[in-house]
Amino acid sequence: MTAVGIDAVEIWTGNLKLDLPGVFAPEKGEDPEKYTKGLGLNASSFPDSYEDIVTMGANAAHRLMERKGLEPDDIGRIDVATESAFDNSKPVSTYIAGCLESVFEGDFHHANKGERKFACIAGTQSLDDAYNWIRAGRNRGRGALVIATDTALYARDDPGEATQGAGAIALYITEDPDLVTLSTEQGYGSADETDFLKPNQQFPSVDGKRSVQVYLARMREALVDYQSVAGELHLDDVRFVPFHTPFPGMVRKAAMLAYRHIIRDTAVEDELADEIGRQPRQEAFETDDEFRDALREYMDGLKETDRYQEWYAETIDPTLTIAREVGNWYTGSVHVARISALKYAVEQGEDLAGQTLAVGSYGSGAQAEIHTEIVQDGWAAEIEALNVDEQLADRYELTWDDYEEIHDAHNHDMDVDIEPMTAPDGEFVFGGWGRMGEREYEYVE
Ligand X SMILES: CC(=O)CC(=O)SCCNC(=O)CCNC(=O)[C@H](O)C(C)(C)COP(=O)(O)OP(=O)(O)OC[C@H]1O[C@@H](n2cnc3c(N)ncnc32)[C@H](O)[C@@H]1OP(=O)(O)O
Instruction: Tell me, residue by residue from 57 to 96, as one string, x for binding to ligand X by CB under 6 A and - for no binding.
Output: ----------------------------------------
CB count within 10 Å of CB 100 equals: 24
Written as one letter, the residue type at 100 is: L
* 238 class by beta-carbon count within 10 Å (0-12 exposed, 13-18 middle, 19+ buried): middle
Whether 440 sits among the annotated catalytic residues: the reply is no
Provide the minimum distance between the beta carbon of 246 and ligand X in the complex, in angstroms, as a whole number: 4
Is there binding between residue 296 and ligand X (CB under 6 A)? no
Is there binding between residue 328 and ligand X (CB under 6 A)? yes
Only segment of 15-23, 56-64, 104-112, 205-213 that touches ligand X (CB under 6 A): 205-213
Written as one letter, the residue type at 54 is: V
Question: For residues 57 and 360, which CB has a smaller minimum distance to ligand X in the complex?
Answer: 360
Q: Enumerate helices (H) and strands (E) in the chain, giving the number of each.
A: 15, 15
Helix 208-230 and helix 248-263, axial crossing angle in degrees, nearest 10: 40
DSSP secondary structure of 160-191: GGGG-EEEEEEEEEEES-SSEEEEEEEEEEE-
Is there binding between residue 250 and ligand X (CB under 6 A)? yes
Question: For residues 42 and 139, which CB has a smaller minimum distance to ligand X in the complex?
Answer: 42
Closest alpha carbon to 225 in 174, 193, 196, 190: 190
Out of 39, 222, 256, 370, the residue judged to bind ligand X by CB under 6 A: 39
Total residues binding ligand X (CB under 6 A): 27
End-to-end CA distance of the chain: 44
Written as one letter, the residue type at 90 is: K
Instruction: Tell me, residue by residue from 102 to 121, as one string, x for binding to ligand X by CB under 6 A and - for no binding.
Output: ------------------x-
Considering 244, 335, 371, 410, which one is annotated as catalytic?
244
Is there binding between residue 362 and ligand X (CB under 6 A)? yes
Provide the minimum distance between the beta carbon of 297 and ligand X in the complex, in angstroms, as a whole number: 16
Provide the minimum distance between the beta carbon of 30 and ligand X in the complex, in angstroms, as a whole number: 7
Q: d(Cα 83, Cα 316) in Å, to the nearest integer?
A: 26
Is there binding between residue 300 and ligand X (CB under 6 A)? no
Is there binding between residue 134 and ligand X (CB under 6 A)? no
Is there binding between residue 31 and ligand X (CB under 6 A)? yes
DSSP secondary structure of 24-69: IHHHHT--HHIIIIII--SEEEE--TT--HHHHHHHHHHHHHHHHT
Only segment of 106-114, 207-215, 272-280, 423-431 that touches ligand X (CB under 6 A): 207-215
Provide the minimum distance between the beta carbon of 424 and ligand X in the complex, in angstroms, as a whole number: 28
Q: What is the per-residue burial (b if ≥16 Cβ within 10 Å, else e) of 368-391? A: bbbbbbbbbeebbebbeebebeeb
Out of 22, 26, 27, 37, the residue judged to bind ligand X by CB under 6 A: 37
Is there binding between residue 164 and ligand X (CB under 6 A)? no
- Residue 73: strand, helix, or coil: helix
Whether 99 sits among the annotated catalytic residues: the reply is no
Is there binding between residue 160 and ligand X (CB under 6 A)? yes
Out of 143, 167, 246, 332, the residue judged to bind ligand X by CB under 6 A: 246
Provide the minimum distance between the beta carbon of 363 and ligand X in the complex, in angstroms, as a whole number: 7
Whether 120 sits among the annotated catalytic residues: the reply is yes
Helix 53-68 and helix 92-101, axial crossing angle in degrees, nearest 10: 50
Bridge partner residues of 81 (DSSP): 116, 148
- Provide the annotated active-site residues: 83, 120, 244
Interface residues toward ligand X, by CB under 6 A = 31, 33-34, 37-39, 120, 159-160, 162-163, 196, 206, 208-209, 211-212, 215, 244, 246-247, 249-250, 328, 330, 362, 364
